Amino acid sequence: MSLADAARAVRENAYAPYSHFKVGAALKTPSGEVFVGCNVENVAYPEGTCAEAGAIAAMVAAGETEFAEVCVIADSPHPVPPCGGCRQKLMEFGKPGAKVTLATLDGAVFETTVADLLPGAFSNDHMDRA
């Protein structure tokens, strides 16, 4: 199963009773393991958690700490970029050149890298004197 297919499948599990905007994400680690996540909303935080954060949480819970590639899919006219918080999480767990594919259910695709999503990102290098 491709990352796009995995993201599309998990998207159906999204819990989005407020926005009705379902998002799925699938990422692959350097070892080839695939982890998925979907957005989850709640009444106190109707924006919910993002699909990318869910996939990263699943990866970390399984003992992995790096991904090589991620795909995010939503039913939108254009590929949906990750929010700011997810961009930082992607930078934390992926190398700058890690492939990011943003897609729609209609087949529109935008490919980029983690570094291009978050230029000037905060990293461990900023704490060299700490």
**Residues annotated as binding site for Zn(2+)?**
50, 83, 86
Catalytic residue among 12, 52, 64, 92: 52
List binding-site positions: 39-45, 50, 83, 86
List binding-site positions for substrate: 39-45
The answer to whether 66 is a known catalytic residue is no
Instruction: Give the long-range contacts of residues 36-42, CB within 8 A, separation 24 or more.
Output: 36/6, 36/7, 36/9, 36/10, 37/10, 38/10, 38/11, 38/13, 38/14, 39/14, 39/15, 40/14, 40/15, 41/15, 41/16, 41/17
Positions marked active-site = 52
